[in-house]
Amino acid sequence: MARSYVREARRRVGPKRERVGPIIERLAAEHADAAIALRFRSDLELLVSVMLSAQTTDVNVNRVTQELFRKYRCPEDYLAVPQEELERDIYRTGFFRQKAKALRGTMTLLLEEYDGRVPSRLEELVRLPGVARKTANVVAAELGDPQGIVVDTHVRRLSQRLGLTRQDDPVKIERDLQRLVPRADWGRFPHLLIWHGRRVCIARTPRCAECVVNDLCPSSRI
């Protein structure tokens, strides 16, 4: 019964290849301000902010980095203080021990292999300690060279609800999205889903009646 309802809903909205273009266009018009919420002024600040944002909110990270970036201006600064001091300085982002360790490991590698600069290739970024694929994807996209599609909790939920993937694993979802989303949109696509997920397609109670893509969504409740 439930399965036939899902099949019927999928038939009603049509193939995902035909829906993805209009979905992107409408969400882009609706969330013209969709962009990364982290605040940074350099590639290094971007990398550090994204690393600190694991398991916490962007608002919280911005609060911490406002002070942090006054004190730590280059990779050497993160290595010039005892680890405990760095832990104290990032304490409020949570998981401060692992994050401090990852930051110091990353700064060491940046200095040893990249002349202190942040690389933009995904395969180089994922070599940095504490930088997983999602972090690397966010950094590469913000550096203007997206090589994958960021899949966070919002992107995962919305891709599933919109019938763009049937997968649950972020790596497989990303693969599905890469086949579907035009390359030129890889950078902005996650931002659009993230902002739509925060404002409209909320986890517990999606506001389908107010949603600009409800006629293209097999999970619409209206």
Sites of contact with ligand SF4 (CB under 6 A): 161-162, 200-201, 206-208, 211, 213-214, 217, 219-220
User: What is residue 182's DSSP assignment?
Assistant: -
Alpha helices in the chain (DSSP H): 2-13, 16-30, 43-52, 58-71, 75-79, 83-90, 96-113, 122-125, 133-142, 153-161, 170-180, 188-199
The least CB distance from residue 173 to ligand SF4, in Å, is 16
Q: Which is nearer to ligand SF4, 135 or 220 (CB)?
A: 220
Active-site positions read 134, 152
**Cα Rg of the chain (Å, integer):** 19
The least CB distance from residue 165 to ligand SF4, in Å, is 14
Q: Which is nearer to ligand SF4, 125 or 162 (CB)?
A: 162
Q: Which is nearer to ligand SF4, 44 or 158 (CB)?
A: 158
Angle formed by the axes of helices 133-142 and 43-52, to 10°? 150
Q: Which amino acid is at 207?
A: R
The least CB distance from residue 38 to ligand SF4, in Å, is 25
Closest CA to 213 of 204, 177, 199: 199
